[in-house]
Amino acid sequence: MDNKVSFVEKIWSQKINRVLLLSIGFSLAIITFRIKRTETIGYIFLVWNLFLATIPYGITQVLKHTEWARKSTFMIVFAFGFWLLFLPNAPYIITDLMHLKTKNDYIIWFDAFMIFVFAWNGLLMGILSIIDMYEIIKKRWTIKAAIITVFCVAFLSGFGIYLGRFLRWNSWELFSQPIALFQDIMTSCFDPAYRFKTWGVTLGFGSFLYLLFLFFKGLLTSNK
């Protein structure tokens, strides 16, 4: 029975990955068209942001399809740490809508659509990655541990988005500037001048991510 379930999950995962590749290819085609049409590369950062968004999904995919890693508590915890560090990059692309600045109505609507497509791909990979991690933790430990972990991860990602967009911190700066990052975290959480924005962004994005996780998890389970 377990082999049959694993086979079904593998086929389903392959279908999802094919659709993801098509969707990512579509976003790259759109930005290529814009570059040729406007002869500018002002939005090329979207490609980098989308690449960062693929990292957490790549981590859970490798973990999901590597049996010996799934059976190792150390490997799961180690992978989880890096996964959580890069996960906020997935929904972060939504905030790139702030870059919409042009007087040309045609271009601004095209740019809005382009950013939406990139944000959709990043958000989709982020949610699918969370679902993967949920399944990994559930199988390795318990469903209760998986639920609690995902709930906390959603709001930690919301806080990560705040750190990235408003304080301009990058994931790897946890290692290069840990003390300065810790000071900014403390100030953001407890200084009255920053608390409202900090908790507003954290709770807003965190709730949104958790609701999307519940929706897609239910949808994928139903389709399976």
Domain interval for residue 61: 2-223
- The whole-angstrom separation of Cα 209 and Cα 161 is 12
What was the pLDDT predicted at 63? 93
Q: Which tokens belong to 188?
A: 């953001």
Q: Do residues 54 and 25 lie in contact, with contact meaning Cβ atoms separated by under 8 Å?
A: no
What was the pLDDT predicted at 102? 65
What was the pLDDT predicted at 100? 84
What was the pLDDT predicted at 219? 85
* pLDDT tens per residue across all 224 residues of the chain: 445 546 556 777 788 899 999 999 999 999 999 999 988 888 999 999 999 999 999 999 999 988 888 889 999 999 999 999 999 999 999 999 888 876 666 788 999 999 999 999 999 999 999 999 999 999 999 999 999 999 999 999 999 999 999 999 988 888 889 999 999 999 998 888 888 999 999 999 999 999 999 999 998 776 65
- The whole-angstrom separation of Cα 36 and Cα 105 is 18
What was the pLDDT predicted at 86? 96
Q: Do residues 50 and 118 lie in contact, with contact meaning Cβ atoms separated by under 8 Å?
A: yes
Structural domain count, the chain = 1
